[in-house]
Amino acid sequence: MRLSQFHLHTSKETPADAEVVSHQLMLRAGMIRKLAAGLYTWSPLGLRVLRKVEAVVREEMNRAGAIEMLMPSIQPRELWEETGRWQKFGGQLLKIKDRKDGEFCYGPTHEEVVTDFARSELRSYKQLPLNVYQIQTKFRDEIRPRFGVMRAREFLMKDAYSFHVGADSLAETYQAMYDAYARIFSRLGLHFRAVNADTGAIGGSASHEFHVLADSGEDAIAFSDTGDYAANVEMAEAVSPGPRPAPTEAMHEVQTPTQKTCEDVAALLDIPLVRTVKSVALVGEPGFVLALVRGDHSVNEIKLAKLPGLGDYRLATEAEIVDALGCEPGFIGPVKPARAITVIADRSVAAMADFVVGANRKGFHLGGVNWGRDLPEPDQVADIRNVVQGDASPDGIGRLGIARGIEVGHVFQLGQKYAEAMKATVLDENGKAQVMHMGCYGIGVSRIVAAAIEQNNDANGILWPEPMAPWQVAVCIINPKNDPAVVEAAVALYDQLQSAGLEVVLDDRGLRPGVMFGDIELIGIPHRVVVSGRGLEAGTFEYRARRSPDSENLDMATLRARLG
Ligand code: ATP
Ligand code: MG
Ligand code: MG
Ligand code: MG
């Protein structure tokens, strides 16, 4: 690409309303332009980077056996009624009407659509497992869109969904996706951590988030300094004692009389509250374990089976639990329809005491809530974080360190929740209908661009990891208007490097060197080669790596070797 024919629009001024460095640099480099709150246009430069990320994601998804498809972004209300999420999803769901008053939403995610696809397409266990994905625009009406494309309202997501007969097959694909995610973030050159996002502390592996580590991250994650333990703080606090903050207003709001807390239920049954995790509350006494499951999550059997001391158990129906509690259906949580499962253990649950860490405080369960989905998002999410640096790691190995993270990926074993609600079944080997098991796997493609800049920048601008750079090499021409020999040499070099498979941008704009170099540094091109009259006389090119403080004069052969 010749920069004279491209559209580059850089700026020296740091925009006043951009709080974090990635937002500032994306604006200054002219990668994005704001249209309205949480809505951004990707400029030609920005799009080159976005496409790079997309390509790596696509390649690794394909490698892991996922198959690309594309679903509509506009989705009919009826589908969302089937899962109860038309109401439950909350304010993030942008609802729209067509000219016939038909109701739709702009998809914030695609479980409903893909499950509808699966139930119409899949008939037999022989067609499973199936793992499909798309890379597509989502819309979520975030309460506080901020940090540019990091928390936008319209953003690009890769979302994959897998379908299975049985939990084992799901667990296998989940692992394959987990591994693919690790490859994706490694290839993109990011420092990241996979953390337990759901029931990790009780041994489940049903959900992991991938966080890019950066001080500006909105999430806090806790990890063992010497062991493998890593969790988001919502999880970690469930196993770490410490002072609880006063409930926020948002917490009070949901404590209406019909919305019972885990504590209320424990009091009602006159049994101790053992521990709560995310939307799951476990209350128990020897020989009896009750798991209340609220909101979007179902405790699937894999997780339960991993509870130490549980032994054999039986899952009760929702009706049974409602009956046992003597309450109305929907009593158990703020989110309807509430689901509940009773687990009757035939052994003592004393083994679970290992996990009992001072969880019997009012409002405790709120710490594990997935804000915005289970409850309205509070303005101060930080209020619920109280894990202390240096706490012993819950697995007993090492001490907890705390870091801030940006959630760039999320893998989730959904179990049968959606398939059950939408009656998505296939026939098994015996010709019997089986409700499919599902997993879902998201990556914030556009968020990754911002997250990468948070980790890779200096006073002069962006330092792209090579696979994300808009071009790998910039060939800068000094004084092109008056020096045809220099232009000729630069164009020859440009052609040669391109033929060698490198992505090269030729800066032929005729700007003063300082301004030209400023732009090339700001937009983060990893390698810069300067072609000047003086260099030509000496038979050299001036080379500088973006991350190096010094430039070197290299002859062609050395330069070529350096650029790989
Ligand atoms: P967050 O906790 O940041 O709100 P989420 O947990 O709601 O994210 P998921 O439903 O797990 O998001 O969606 C999958 C991925 O989509 C996330 O891991 C994140 O990288 C990305 N994502 C979610 N919301 C946004 C947003 N508003 N802007 C940009 N990317 C987003
Ligand atoms: Mg969210
Ligand atoms: Mg999240
Ligand atoms: Mg998530």
Residues 431-447, buried b or exposed e (16+ Cβ, 10 A)? eeebbbbbbbbbbbbbb
CATH 3.90.1150.10 fits 252-382, yes or no: no
* Choice from 85, 133, 157 to test ligand 1 binding pocket (greatest atom count within 8 A of CB): 157
CATH of domain 471-563: 3.40.50.800
Gyration radius of the chain's alpha carbons: 27
Among 124-138, 284-298, 493-507, name the one with the lowest average pLDDT: 284-298
**All structural domains of the chain with their residue ranges:** 16-236+402-453, 252-382, 471-563
Nearest CA to ligand 1 atom 8: 407
* Choice from 181, 410, 412, 440 to test ligand 1 binding pocket (greatest atom count within 8 A of CB): 410
> pLDDT: is 194 or 365 the higher one?
194
CA separation for the pair 224, 397 (Å, rounded):
7
Please state the atom number of ligand 1 nearest to the C-alpha of residue 406: 3
What's the fold here for domain 16-236+402-453?
BirA Bifunctional Protein; domain 2 (3.30.930)
Helix (H, G, I), strand (E, B) or coil at 134: strand
Q: Residue 44 contacts by C-beta under 8 Å, 6 or more apart in sequence? A: 6, 7
What are the pLDDT digits (tens) for 242-268? 333 333 333 222 222 223 444 544 454
Among 10-14, 38-42, 287-291, 359-363, name the one with the lowest average pLDDT: 359-363
Nearest CA to ligand 1 atom 31: 444
Tell me the average pLDDT of the chain: 78
Q: Is the peptide bond before 337 cis (omega within 30 degrees of 0)?
A: yes
> pLDDT: is 373 or 197 the higher one?
197
Mean pLDDT within 72-85: 97
Ligand nearest to the CA of 140: 1
Long-range contacts of 225-230 (CB under 8 A, 24+ apart): 225/393, 225/398, 225/399, 225/400, 225/401, 226/397, 226/398, 226/399, 227/393, 227/395, 227/397, 227/398, 228/395, 228/397, 229/393, 229/394, 229/395, 229/397, 229/398, 229/400, 230/193, 230/194, 230/195, 230/196
**Centroid of ligand 3 to alpha carbon of 210 (angstroms):** 10
**Centroid of ligand 2 to alpha carbon of 414 (angstroms):** 17
What are the pLDDT digits (tens) for 195-210? 887 533 333 458 899 9
**457 bridge partner residues:** 462
CA separation for the pair 333, 374 (Å, rounded):
9
Q: How confident is the model at residue 319 (pLDDT cuts 50, 70, 90)?
A: low
Asked casually if ipTM beats, i.e. exceeds, 0.95, the reply is: yes
Nearest CA to ligand 1 atom 3: 407
**Centroid of ligand 4 to alpha carbon of 410 (angstroms):** 5
Predicted confidence (pLDDT) at residue 177 exceeds the cutoff of 60: yes
Ligand nearest to the CA of 444: 1
Full strand arrangement of the beta sheet holding 280-285: 273-277, 280-285, 288-293, 339-343
* Ligand 1 binding residues, C-beta < 6 A: 109, 140, 142, 151-152, 155, 157, 407-410, 442, 444, 446-447
What are the pLDDT digits (tens) for 456-498? 999 999 999 999 999 999 999 999 999 999 999 999 999 999 9
**Centroid of ligand 2 to alpha carbon of 54 (angstroms):** 21
Among 63-72, 368-377, 466-475, name the one with the lowest average pLDDT: 368-377
**Amino acid identity for residue 53 in this structure:** V
For the chain, percent of residues with pLDDT exceeding 70: 70
Please state the atom number of ligand 1 nearest to the C-alpha of residue 409: 18
Nearest CA to ligand 1 atom 25: 151
**Centroid of ligand 1 to alpha carbon of 203 (angstroms):** 25
